[in-house]
Amino acid sequence: MLNRSLVLNTLLALLLLWSFSASAARPIPAAPKIAASGYLLIDFDSGKALAEKNADQPLEPASLTKIMTAYVIFREIAEGNINLSEEVLISEKAWRMEGSRMFIEVGKRIKVETLLRGLIIQSGNDASVALAEHIAGSESTFAQLMNNHAKRLSMTNTNFVNSTGLPHKDHFTTARDIALVAAAAIREFPDFYKWYGEKSFLYNGIKQHNRNKLLWRDKSVDGMKTGHTKAAGYCLVASAKRENMRLISVVLGTRSEDARAQESQSLLNYGFRFFETHKLYSANEPLSHARIWKGDKKTLALGLTKDLYITIPRHSYKNLDAEMVLEPKLLAPISKGSALGHVSIKLEGKSVVEVPLTALEEIAEGNLFQQLKDHTLLWFE
């Protein structure tokens, strides 16, 4: 006959093992080995890096440069400096550009929209230069605009000297920096971003196909841009959305067109297979209320300045824990947007992210009576 105590202990051990297995985060395997000079895989919403190698090493970007070129043009349109229907006079320099082209002719006038699509879909160097000259007077001046936006986007290891990505010793960027401008373009200009998903473009009787092979291979991929020079190798930025999760992969310096597509596909599949992204809190949503002393109001709503997303291993959402920590004894006046504490998100006791809790409104000083009253209450506190 089995020992009753032994049976009970065995059952208890099995129960504890099941409980631990059910609650513990699923182990995440290492990212696939990617044959590239540098690469990065990030979640679009949270910005979390899921796989990387030499992501901050300056490298030649080739035509990935045109992601920034197009972004600058999008900004110029949004700010009302140019519009899609206005015409651009094609210079001899633009007409003579080497490499990939949309075959525009010198002296012709072509709409901004047509040139933009030629730049994005056909990777036209001629279209890039024509638009750069139209906006800034010269390509070198346009490159200054590119660098200004790069600085604003915190692209700290980037320098542009042209709008095309043709080789130059002072023209470089990194996988991380390219991911920043790619994400900005998707976030700020979703209507323009749709052009990155077009598979072909016909101009002047010449039909050219988008070089991003993943547009045919993976229906979740809806952009973004290829690049190639002998020095840079074959490069690709790809963006894909499956359900409510968008990933951006950047691959620099592979050996062939097929290699850049395959390596990008491997990164995207890895990210979608083993991770999930959740929106925890919305911007300007009251998450907590703090007691305010000596103010014209007694309580203050606190929240976040932007939406909070997190990317975590799949099936681990139930193991998240949130804690809100406020500064003690908050005194008026308080300006809207002031950081007065933080939200800490942990997964199984380990910190995932920590973001400031900020004042969602302004609190002015209270009248003399309110200040004296609170002063007395604080003394007792």
Q: Name the β-bridge partners of 359.
A: 302
What CA–CA distance (Å, rounded) separates 134 from 119? Answer: 14
The CA–CA distances, whole Å, from 198 to 3, 193, 202, 224 equal 71, 10, 11, 10
**Cβ–Cβ contacts within 10 Å for residue 265, how many?**
21
Q: Residue 194 in contact with residue 241, Cβ under 8 Å?
A: no
Establish whether the linkage from the previous residue to 333 is cis, with ω within 30° of 0: yes
Quote the CA–CA distance of 87 and 71 in Å, as a whole number.
19
Distance between CA 63 and CA 123 in Å, rounded? 7
Half-sphere exposure (Cβ direction) of 164: Cα atoms closer than 13 Å: 23
Active-site annotation, residues: 63, 66, 123
Buried b (16+ CB within 10 A) or exposed e, 238-247: bbbeeeebbb
Q: What are phi and psi of 357, to 5 degrees?
A: -90, 125
Please state the φ and ψ torsions of residue 235, each to the nearest 5 degrees: -125, 155
- Strand 330-331 relative to strand 288-293: parallel, antiparallel, unpaired? parallel
**Which of 304, 305, 240 has the alpha carbon at shortest distance from 277?**
240
* Burial class of 229 by CB neighbour count within 10 A (0 to 12, 13 to 18, 19+): middle
**Amino acid identity at 109:** R
d(CA 195, CA 121): 7
